[in-house]
């Protein structure tokens, strides 16, 4: 055994030059540079020597012999992480779990979700498969990194179109007394009825019983939930959430500059020509406020209501305020056979929404939308969820309407 290795192992076990344990090996005489260390290692049961009573310190060891020494040192509580990493395969063969190495490996985790979707609508059908992979890494005890890669395959036609993009990449951690979120993430403020979009920016949250938060960023260009297009465009949010007794309550302020949608009104109050539904109009400094609450009214029954209002009439034919009401019964969980049902009613003019979370047609080019939604969720098997939604919506102006059925099956792994 090399001199440096003997001394390092002895130090890991707290051995000093004054060790007094008797030396059991005939070929390690008193006065040998390794006498004290070898004696202590032998007394601790870390080294055994050979059947003839010799230590044979100049003899080359096999990796398995070294792995046995490392395993015994670990059992004694020695800090031998580097040696354990070097002999990890041999230790595994010997049935020794390297707990600290496993903890280090757990610092990076990968999980995923696959969603199969069938959508039947008055305005067209589609069939797709969405695959998502999340990478979660621990920077330290207070900071983590998350990334999400998404692949979507369109089976609606024979073209077999697909896209693969990095949808999320952000850090989350503590800075003083604040929670910090920085990078690209999907911002779903409160109920996401006003804002559900990918944001590149920073969000700060402070408080426990009353959470106060603020974010500044821009819409993540090229993402599914695109909100703004130019680097100079900005989205600002200030809000607070709390629980008072059995009531969960929240209030928010939104401001978006340069956010786009189809066929809105310009600054002079004139309707922008839609050009077949492709011409984009600008919100400019669109400001929206909302307030909402949710509470349990009976066992397994929960009610929620949200009121929202905008600062300007971007479409002068519709109101500046809107609302969403919701009722939930039970809920699907991890238990196979568990289920839940819910219903929602919408009245959301374009003047008081940015990018809503509603899957159905929202008719932003036609003043916004109103309507209702019924949904059922059912846990088919472990990590497999069925989600069925039916929407009936109509435009706030004109005669457009849509009835949509979404059938989603989620697989988590």
C-alpha–C-alpha distance, residues 82 and 86, integer Å: 6
C-alpha–C-alpha distance, residues 323 and 215, integer Å: 24
The strand pair at 178-188 and 162-175 is best described as antiparallel
Q: Are 215 and 190 in contact (CB under 8 A)?
A: no
**Dihedral sign computed on CA atoms, order 86, 88, 94, 97:** positive
Which DSSP state fits 272?
P
**Dihedral sign computed on CA atoms, order 222, 228, 233, 237:** negative
Q: Which domains, ranges and CATH numbers included, belong to the chain?
A: 3-104 (no CATH), 108-412 (2.40.160.10)
Q: Tell me if the pTM is above 0.75.
A: no
Q: How far is CA 221 from the centre of its chain?
A: 20
C-alpha–C-alpha distance, residues 404 and 250, integer Å: 30
Distances from the Cα of 12 to the Cαs of 5, 8, 15, 234, in angstroms? 10, 6, 7, 55
The tens digit of pLDDT for each residue in 232-281 reads 478 899 999 999 989 999 999 999 876 554 334 444 444 444 333 334 44
Backbone φ and ψ of 121, nearest 5°: -140, 155
C-alpha–C-alpha distance, residues 161 and 182, integer Å: 32
The strand pair at 196-206 and 210-219 is best described as antiparallel
Q: What is the pLDDT along the chain (413 residues), one digit of tens a residue?
A: 444 555 555 555 554 444 444 556 666 666 666 666 666 666 666 666 665 666 666 666 666 566 666 666 666 666 666 666 666 666 666 565 555 545 555 578 899 999 999 999 887 788 899 999 999 999 988 999 999 999 999 887 777 788 999 999 999 999 988 999 999 999 999 899 998 888 899 999 999 899 999 999 987 655 444 554 444 478 899 999 999 989 999 999 999 876 554 334 444 444 444 333 334 444 567 899 999 999 999 999 999 999 999 988 877 889 999 999 999 999 998 899 999 999 999 999 988 988 888 888 888 778 899 999 999 999 999 999 999 999 999 999 989 999 999 999 999 99
> What b/e string do you get for 185-206 counting C-beta neighbours within 10 Å, with b at 16 or more?
bbbebbbebbbbbbbbbebebe
């Amino acid at each position: 055994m090399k001199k440096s290795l003997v001394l390092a192992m002895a130090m890991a076990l707290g051995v000093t030059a004054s060790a007094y344990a008797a030396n059991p090996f005939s070929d390690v005489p008193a006065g040998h540079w390794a006498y004290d260390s070898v004696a202590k290692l032998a007394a601790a049961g870390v080294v055994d020597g050979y059947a003839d009573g010799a230590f044979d310190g100049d003899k080359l060891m096999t990796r398995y012999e070294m792995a046995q020494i490392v395993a015994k040192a670990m059992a004694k509580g020695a800090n031998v992480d580097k040696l354990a990493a070097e002999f990890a395969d041999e230790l595994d063969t010997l049935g020794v779990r390297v707990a600290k190495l496993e903890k280090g490996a757990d610092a990076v985790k990968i999980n995923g979700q696959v969603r199969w979707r069938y959508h039947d609508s008055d305005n067209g059908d589609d069939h797709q498969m969405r695959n998502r992979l999340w990478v979660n890494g621990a920077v330290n005890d207070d900071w983590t990194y998350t990334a999400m890669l998404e692949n979507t395959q369109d089976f609606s036609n024979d073209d077999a179109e697909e896209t693969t993009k990095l949808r999320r990449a952000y850090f989350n951690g503590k800075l003083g007394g604040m929670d910090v979120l920085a990078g690209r993430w999907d911002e779903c403020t409160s109920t996401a009825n006003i804002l559900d979009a990918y944001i590149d920016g920073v969000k700060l949250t402070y408080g426990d019983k009353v959470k106060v938060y603020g974010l500044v960023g821009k819409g993540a260009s090229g993402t599914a939930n695109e909100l703004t297009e130019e680097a100079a465009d900005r989205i600002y949010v200030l809000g607070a959430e709390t629980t008072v007794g059995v009531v969960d309550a929240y209030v928010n302020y939104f401001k978006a500059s340069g956010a786009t949608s189809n066929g809105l009104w310009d600054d002079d109050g004139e309707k922008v020509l839609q050009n077949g539904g492709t011409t984009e109009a600008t919100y400019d400094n669109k400001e929206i406020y909302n307030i909402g609450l949710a509470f349990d009214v009976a066992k397994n029954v929960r009610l929620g209501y949200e009121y929202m209002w905008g600062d300007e009439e971007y479409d002068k034919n519709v109101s500046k305020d809107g609302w969403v009401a919701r009722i939930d019964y039970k809920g699907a969980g991890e238990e196979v056979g568990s289920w839940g049902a819910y219903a929602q009613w919408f009245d959301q003019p374009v003047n008081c929404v940015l990018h809503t979370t509603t899957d159905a047609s929202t008719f932003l080019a036609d003043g916004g939308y109103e309507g209702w939604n019924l949904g059922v969720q059912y846990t088919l098997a472990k990590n497999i969820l069925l989600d069925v939604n039916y929407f009936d919506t109509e435009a706030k102006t004109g005669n457009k309407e849509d009835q949509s059925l979404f059938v989603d099956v989620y697989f988590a792994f």
